[in-house]
Structure 1
Amino acid sequence: MSFIRCARTALAVRGAPLGQGRLLARGVSNESTPATKSAESSEIVAPAPPRDVMVAEAVSGAPEELRHRAVRIYQPTRNTMQSGAAKTERWRVDFDTMLSGGRWENPLMGWASSADYMQGTRVSFRSKEDAMHFAEKQGMFSTCVTQVRFLITVHTFQDGIIMCK
């Protein structure tokens, strides 16, 4: 139940006589008069004027270097090690690596290290539009990559023999 609905119910119960409070809270009345439409409800309501949408980058508190970062929006491919297609319907936002990411080779293990803490961050969304809206609202430059879906045709053993003749 939403907050507004709770507030309306509480105000309706508070204004009713003592015995009718529970009935009004449930939307039922004691009166036997039929409900009639009022003339006010048939009036056309004018739509609210459009407001300026505040982008989230202004109030998010994110560091300045993240605000105008390039991101890549894509749909991940199926894992080649398994036959399942799980997690391929979701859209993913990846942060591109920064050119000034401060890369170096770790002297102890020889691994490549980086000062870019966002390069390993991935965010998943249910649709492409949601991912693009997120990137736009955060003030990021987005590139959407769509993949070509190949239709896999099923061949039987007989098809291979017939083609060879």
Structure 2
Amino acid sequence: MKARIYQRPKNAMQSGHARTGQWVLAVEPEAPQHADPLTGWAGSGNTAAQVQLTFPDRDAAIAYAKAQGLVYAIVPLGSHSLKLQAYADNFR
């Protein structure tokens, strides 16, 4: 099975930084989802794709993936840039 290891990004809807230092191991789906003919919901038979494990640091996540025999890829966190602007700039 393939897995992704990534650092949890900051929630854009809140100003806090809770759980941003955690690393997440998520299993990649092995097959695409299919639509249920009765309800129209997307689903698959792979229940491992629903599991996300959190770790305090990247090394712990890598050690777990190696111990379980998972092929993993580390996804880097994107850069965070602020657009500094004064309120008066809106009226220029």
Tell me which stretches of 4 or more aligned residues in structure 1 moved more than 6 Å.
none
Match of 2:36 in 1: 106
CA distance in 2, matches of 1:81, 1:106: 32
The residue type equivalent to 1:138 in the other structure is Q
Of Structure 1 and Structure 2, the greater strand share is in 2
With the length of structure 1 as denominator, give the TM-score of the two structures: 0.49
Q: Are 2:33 and 1:94 aligned?
A: no
Q: Which residue of 1 aligns with 2:78?
A: 148
Taking every aligned residue pair, what percent have the same amino acid on both sides? 26
3-state secondary structure, aligned to 1:73: strand
Q: For 1:92, give the aligned amino acid.
A: V
Larger radius of gyration: 1
How many residues are aligned here?
92
Counterparts of residues 56-135 of structure 1 (less than 5 Å): 69-99=1-31, 103-135=33-65
Compute the displacement of 1:80 (Å): 2.1
1: distance between equivalents of 2:22 and 2:83? 24
State the alpha-carbon separation in 2 of the partners of residues 148 and 106 from structure 1: 35
Q: Deviations over 1:120-159 (max 9, x none)?
A: 100000000110010011111110011233242543235x
Which secondary structure does the structure 2 equivalent of 1:132 belong to?
Answer: helix
Counterpart of 1:94, as a letter, is A
Unaligned runs of 5+ in 1: 1-68
Displacement after TM superposition at 1:84 (Å): 1.9
Counterpart residue identity of residue 98, structure 1: E
TM-score computed with the length of structure 2 as normaliser: 0.83
